[in-house]
């Protein structure tokens, strides 16, 4: 048995300002519909429904209007420090301008003025249940929020992906905040709202806000262990070397099996001529974002992750 | 028990020229991938693999390239006699030009030069299994092809929708041929290829070609009864009267239940504030295309159909 390490206690400043963002990808409709619904609730019942001021944002309104992922460029790849500080000219893509606007509203990234927590809402066509994506394995707020989601949401698998990229290179919207998470819920076709997926996301946002309330109240939040999937690499479809067209589809035995363990010999792809392409690595890794529609143009059939157990310290509010 | 009517025998001319079309909607990827795969098979094994010359067409190459439904206008609404004969000017939408090109290639619609059979390949985000869509309840070729599909394909529900529109007003690609069917397979997100859905479509096309082979051989094809869903009307989402935004989503009890029977009081929608909107009609009808992504912009939450049993005569090749 694994020896249980003694848990540390870490004190952290209060979460004073949070943001919930939807429509960062304009055709991922759960967030596009949930953000106005949160705003409707606030109009009806007042700010007091939330434990802290929550900025609600429809991140890419032009893409939302056209019901497409983006207009000129994937907005959720525009939040690196380099792009956020690049000069704006007449030819600057719409999403780069919009990223800089959002950075002014919710950041600036890496400064003390930045929002304490951004929760960005996404959908995937992959069978990923509720997946939390975050950047760092030492961001105790993000990791404790994930732990709370996993404890509270029991009708769907809840998992954590860590990208482990330095914050300046982190490219997605939530990296603008001091602590950022994105919530991915699927499977759902882009351009569709499903009631079941909407409910999971709504519950997810409620649980995030509930964690903030508990934490801000000064109560001790116990540490413990959580499993994380550490991003390792992306795998493309087998392609025709000249025309670059895919020669295969995700194997039916792999389709919908996100986060399963891949062992040498397991099927990955089925070519149109009927051959099975198999996993050929020594190390057992875990695939995710399997057959995500938005990744066809990026040359990604799925990502692979290494599973790792993280030990979280207990956390409590730092007294002023 | 229903009295079995005596079946007539009808003789019909041979099917001499068929067409299989994919990418009529550029983001419905099964057809986009299956058409080149059929072409690859023909290159490898020769024309003799098919019982008649088959024209294979990628209908909307510009939309396929951009992986969207259409560029300017829904191509699959452009095949009415009025649009096909409209003059082309500088401002004519791309899809209208393309419809006229396809009409020259596969038609002209309503003439003796038109292809005998067009099979147009579509996907839907709705849980519709393999659905055959055709126009007329007296098109014995289309109806017998459907009957053959229903007999041969057993691992997924196979159903028939009849639109029952006069052929000159028929708006979709297959209406260009003397006999037209479209094959809808789902559920599949647009912009994605799933191996299971691809297999169903491939088998569907094989069965259609197999029917042509049997029919052209002169063998008697027995009549019988088939159930058809006759299009009745479309139902929109409950909307905000001013902003026209949807106030509800498909009810979780209706989602994925395409072709079920709706009785008064059955749930249709769930509003964001938690109320259930119920079916309120006397007549029991059948919903289909429930929560199809492409229909959000058309103001359609689902269609309703009346179920009807059709009696097909036996058919045989007319001797020359």
- Nearest of A103, A61, A50, A124 to residue A300 by alpha carbon: A124
The tens place of each residue's pLDDT in chain B, 320 residues long, gives 444 555 699 999 999 999 999 999 999 999 999 999 999 999 999 888 899 999 999 999 999 999 999 999 999 999 999 999 999 999 999 999 999 999 999 999 999 999 999 999 999 999 999 999 999 889 999 999 999 999 999 999 999 999 988 888 999 999 999 999 999 999 999 999 999 999 999 999 999 999 999 999 999 999 999 999 999 999 999 998 887 789 999 999 999 999 999 999 999 999 998 999 999 999 999 999 999 999 999 999 999 999 999 999 999 999 87
Q: Report CB contact under 8 Å: B191, A190.
A: yes
Q: What digits encode the pLDDT tens for the residues A175-214?
A: 999 999 999 999 999 999 999 999 999 999 999 999 999 9
pLDDT at residue A6, as a whole number: 56
Cα separation, B206 vs B196, in Å, equals 16
pLDDT at residue B5, as a whole number: 52
Residues from B in contact with A at Cβ < 8 Å = 33, 36-37, 40, 67-68, 125, 187-196, 198-199, 245-246, 249-252, 255, 270, 272, 291, 293-294, 296-297
Backbone angles phi, psi at B292, to 5 degrees: -75, 125
Cα separation, B304 vs B309, in Å, equals 16
pLDDT at residue A243, as a whole number: 73
Cβ pair A254, A267 in contact under 8 A: yes
* pLDDT lower than 70: segments of chain A: 1-7
Min distance A293 CA to chain B CA atoms (Å): 5
- Pick from B67, B251, B294: CB nearest A195: B251
B37 vs A contacts (CB less than 8 Å): 272
Backbone angles phi, psi at B17, to 5 degrees: -150, 125
- Pick from B36, B67, B189: CB nearest A189: B189
If you compute the radius of gyration of chain A from its CA atoms, what whole number of angstroms results?
20
Q: In what order do the strands lie in the sheet with A224-235?
A: A54-58, A18-22, A117-123, A179-186, A129-134, A158-162, A224-235, A302-312, A286-288
Helix, strand and coil percent figures for chain B, each rounded to 5 = 30, 25, 45
Q: Report CB contact under 8 Å: A272, B297.
A: no
Give chain B's largest Cα–Cα span: 67
- Pick from A191, A246, A251: CB nearest B190: A191
Q: Report CB contact under 8 Å: A252, B33.
A: no
Min distance A197 CA to chain B CA atoms (Å): 10
Q: How many CB pairs under 8 A join A and B?
A: 85
How, if at all, do strands B9-12 and B314-317 pair?
parallel
Q: Which residue is closest to B291 within chain A, CA to CA? A: A192
Tokens standing for residue A66: 């056209």
Show the domains of chain B with their CATH numbers: 9-228+312-317 (3.40.630.10), 233-305 (2.20.25.160)
DSSP state letter for A313: P
As a whole number of Å, the end-to-end CA separation of chain A is 41
pLDDT at residue B85, as a whole number: 96
| CA pseudo-torsion sign A118, A189, A229, A297 | negative
- Report CA A219 to chain centroid distance, whole Å: 27
Q: Report CB contact under 8 Å: A40, B272.
A: yes
Cβ pair A302, A232 in contact under 8 A: no
pTM over 0.90: yes
Our CA angle for A62, A64, A66, nearest 5°, is 75
Min distance A71 CA to chain B CA atoms (Å): 12
Cα separation, A221 vs A223, in Å, equals 7
């Amino acid at each position: 048995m694994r020896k249980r390490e003694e848990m540390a206690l870490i004190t952290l400043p209060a979460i004073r300002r949070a943001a919930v963002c939807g429509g960062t990808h304009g055709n991922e409709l759960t967030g596009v519909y949930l953000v106005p619904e949160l705003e409707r609730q606030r109009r009806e019942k007042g700010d007091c429904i939330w434990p802290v001021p929550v900025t609600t944002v429809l991140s890419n309104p032009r893409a939302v209007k056209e019901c497409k992922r983006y207009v000129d460029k994937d907005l959720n790849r525009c939040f690196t420090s380099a792009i956020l500080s690049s000069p704006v000219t007449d030819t600057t893509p719409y999403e780069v301008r919009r990223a800089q606007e959002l950075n002014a509203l919710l950041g600036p990234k890496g400064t003390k003025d930045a929002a304490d927590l951004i929760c960005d809402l996404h959908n995937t066509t992959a069978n990923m249940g509720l997946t939390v994506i975050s950047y760092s394995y030492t961001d105790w707020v993000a990791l404790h929020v994930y732990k709370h989601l996993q404890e509270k949401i029991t009708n769907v698998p809840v998992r954590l992906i860590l990208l482990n990229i330095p914050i300046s290179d982190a490219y997605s919207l939530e990296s603008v905040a001091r602590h950022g998470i994105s919530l991915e819920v699927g499977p759902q076709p882009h351009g569709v709202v499903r009631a079941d997926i909407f409910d999971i996301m709504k519950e997810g946002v409620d649980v995030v806000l509930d964690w903030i309330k508990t934490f801000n109240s000064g109560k001790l939040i116990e540490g413990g262990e959580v499993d994380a999937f550490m991003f390792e690499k992306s795998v493309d479809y087998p392609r025709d070397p000249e025309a670059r067209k895919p020669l295969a589809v995700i194997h039916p035995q792999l389709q919908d099996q996100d986060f399963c363990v891949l062992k040498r010999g397991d099927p990955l792809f089925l070519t149109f001529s009927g051959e099975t392409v198999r996993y050929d690595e020594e190390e057992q890794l875990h695939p995710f974002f399997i057959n995500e529609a938005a990744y066809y143009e990026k040359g990604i059939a799925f990502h692979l992750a290494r599973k790792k157990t993280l030990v979280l310290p207990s956390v409590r509010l730092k007294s002023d």
